[in-house]
Amino acid sequence: TWTPDAFVDKTVAELKEKIGDEKVILGLSGGVDSSVAAVLLHKAIGKNLHCIFVNNGLLRKNEFTDVLKQYEGMGLNVKGVDASARFLDDLAGESDPETKRKTIGRVFIEVFDDESHLVENAKWLAQGTIYPDVIESVSATGGPSQTIKSHHNVGGLPDFMKLKVVEPLKMLFKDEVRRVGASLGIDKALLGRHPFPGPGLAIRILGDITPEKVAILQEVDAIFIDGLKKWDLYDKVWQAGAMLLPVNSVGVMGDERTYEKCVALRAVESTDGMTADWVNLPYEFLQKTSNDIINKVPGVNRVVYDISSKPPATIEWE
């Protein structure tokens, strides 16, 4: 029978044998798969694993610094690369969802290629690919590896894609990856994190992206997610997030009518992201969250809750 401990022992031995003392590069996304792959490889080859964690400026509030610290605390050899400005500059003025995705994919490849050149004499590219990624063309979770695959354009491979590929989680399902992670001693909160799309908040800001809109959505999202945790609802939800809508709606402030932003909250139950049901969150929670958002986030005067199921309504709004 399959056990996580036995899998770890066997895989660590295989990785040692296969990689020897060659250097490996791995893109960390903050998600479960890349994190477990990294810890597993680190156990096998130690400092020869060079992890790269890119801030695309579209992560959750404080996510880059918090997760980077967490990775460092786990002993990983990780380099945090803040490329926010590069991503946001290239996205400026763009409102087409697919163009936004392609731009983020392209800039990620450029940044990752630059960074991988700094690791001298690297021979391997490690990826947190799991079994469902192998059998489905579109991954529900989509870490950097999926970003690379789905956004790569013709015109010559970037150098890091010419490296030998190692994918230690390739035969595992998500729940097995979590069990392997637990057996490796990875923090429960990290293993239980909701999926988060590679393009991040870019596909939750409908229309064009500005640093101001990112900052507003980060605040709203943080209030919503922190609230779910506080109310013990986080683990009952498969994925949750907030959308910044491209409409202003009227509000009253004293004698004045204001026109400010509207946000939509979305929380879904799902097993693989292919179908999803909206979650029946308690009214008291929604009431408190809505008040908190409107009171604490300048520029937002209206909160709505998305009660649409997939299909047809996708989890993300873009």
DSSP β-ladder status, 49-55 and 23-28: parallel
Q: Does 146 bind ligand XMP (CB under 6 A)?
A: yes
Q: Does 91 bind ligand XMP (CB under 6 A)?
A: no
Tell me if 29 is assigned to a ligand binding site.
Answer: yes
Tell me if 35 is assigned to a ligand binding site.
Answer: yes
Nearest residue to ligand XMP, by Cβ distance, number only: 142
Cβ 160 to ligand XMP shortest distance, Å: 19
* CA–CA separation, 126 and 148 (whole Å): 13
Q: Does 151 bind ligand XMP (CB under 6 A)?
A: no
Q: Which of 142, 168, 181, 227 binds ligand XMP (CB under 6 A)?
A: 142
Instruction: Show the binding pattern over residues 241-280: x = contacts ligand XMP (CB under 6 A), - = does not.
Output: --------------------------------x-------
* CA–CA separation, 208 and 128 (whole Å): 31
For 183, list phi and psi in degrees, rounded to 5: -65, -30
Q: Which of 129, 239, 289, 301 binds ligand XMP (CB under 6 A)?
A: 239
- Sign of the dihedral defined by the CA atoms of residues 272, 190, 147, 212, in that order: positive
Token pair in block for residue 302 = 């209206």
Token pair in block for residue 183 = 């057996």
Rounded to the nearest 10 degrees, the angle between the axes of helix 174-183 and helix 4-19 is 80
Q: Does 195 bind ligand XMP (CB under 6 A)?
A: yes
Q: Does 145 bind ligand XMP (CB under 6 A)?
A: no
> Among the candidate windows 32-40, 169-177, 286-294, 310-318, which touches ligand XMP by CB under 6 A?
310-318
Strand stretches in the chain, DSSP E = 23-28, 49-55, 78-82, 122-126, 164-166, 239-253, 256-269, 277-278, 300-305
The binding site for ligand XMP (CB under 6 A) comprises 101, 140, 142, 146, 195, 197-199, 203, 239, 273, 310, 314-316
